[in-house]
Amino acid sequence: CSTNEVLFEIHDPPPLEAYGYDDIICANASATLTPSVNGGVPGYTYLWSDGTTGASATIMDDEPNGYSVTVTDECGQTTVAFFNVLPIAPSAELDGNLNLCPDSPVGVLEIDTDAPGPFDVTYTVNGSPFTEYGLFGPPIEINVYIPGVYELVAVVANGCPANVSGTATVEVIDV
């Protein structure tokens, strides 16, 4: 007598996971949100909180907002990824005067801003342009070595152009 034996092995797919992120965008500019998806059975479908479908969503906001996307795999597993969007419309202002000592002609001017960095700053000193990259703050600090009139020309905050204003006068004083 013989018996036929059939062995079935069932392998469950790894759990479906999806991750969103926090994103800083420029106000009135578009950004694309795309979740990171792992596991499950490929052939994913996406349903965004605004009703759109697709692996990515293009958004434009000028107010902080949250988004979510429900990801479904071929076997019907679902998971949700969350995104927080912070649009910024930065401003930056240079204001004030600075006196330098003749034996140590180094000082710091501060630029007030309402945005997160890093910052790229362009300013003029007596009409000559200077640009510094990757500065942190707020406030943004620029080292000054040259007496004269400093005028703020441009600030880019975390990739977003800022509305800028202001001048400062730097003088070497006799002690």
Under the banding of pLDDT at 50, 70 and 90, the label for residue 10 is confident
Comparing CA positions, the residue from 106, 121, 124, 117 lying closest to residue 167 is 124
pLDDT, residue 82, reads: 98
pLDDT tens readout for residues 69-120: 999 999 999 999 999 998 888 999 998 899 988 887 789 999 999 988 899 9
At residue 28, the pLDDT reads: 85
162 within 8 A of 113, measured Cβ to Cβ = yes
Predicted pLDDT of residue 84: 95
What's the pLDDT tens digit per position in 128-151?
999 999 999 899 999 998 999 999
pLDDT greater than 80 at residue 175: no
Q: What is the pLDDT of residue 34?
A: 97
Q: Are 124 and 100 in contact (CB under 8 A)?
A: no
| CB contact burial 15-51 (16+ within 10 A = b; e otherwise) | ebebebeebbbbeeeebebebebeebeeebebbbeee
Q: Which residues pair with 52 in a beta bridge?
A: none
The C-alpha angle with vertex 65 and arms to 64 and 68, in degrees rounded to 5, equals 155
For 110, counting Cβ atoms within 10 Å of its Cβ (0-12 exposed, 13-18 middle, 19+ buried), the class is: middle
Contact in structure between 19 and 36 (CB atoms under 8 Å): yes
Give per-residue pLDDT as tens, 152-170. 999 999 889 999 999 999 9
* Length reported for the chain: 175
Q: pLDDT tens-digit profile of 32-53?
A: 999 999 999 999 999 999 999 9
Inter-residue contact 157 to 117 (CB < 8 Å): yes
